[in-house]
Amino acid sequence: MKFEEEIKQSSFKNPKEKAIVNILYTGNWLRDRSEGLLKPKGINEQHFNILRILRGRYPLTICPGEIKEVLINKRGDLTRLLDKLVTMGLVTRDVNPDNRRMINLKISDAGLNMLSDLDPKLEELNQKNNALSHEESEQLSHLLDKMRG
**Torsion sign, CA atoms 124, 129, 133, 134:** negative
Q: Does residue 59 have a cis peptide bond before it, meaning omega lies within 30 degrees of 0?
A: yes
**What is the domain partition of the chain in residue ranges?**
44-148
Q: Is 59 helix (H, G, I), strand (E, B) or coil?
A: coil
Q: pTM of the prediction?
A: 0.86
Q: Give the integer Cα–Cα distance in Å for 117 and 96.
A: 30
To the question of domain 44-148 being in CATH 3.20.20.140, the answer is: no
Contact 112, 58 (CB under 8 A): yes
Contact 53, 62 (CB under 8 A): yes
Q: For 2-44, how does the pLDDT look when each residue is reduced to its tens digit (9 = 90+)?
A: 888 888 888 999 999 999 999 999 899 888 888 999 999 999 9
- Predicted local distance difference test score (pLDDT) of residue 30: 87
Neighbours of 7 (CB within 10 A): 11
Residue 128 banded pLDDT, cuts 50, 70, 90: confident
Q: For 69-108, how does the pLDDT look when each residue is reduced to its tens digit (9 = 90+)?
A: 999 888 879 999 999 999 999 999 998 888 888 899 999 9
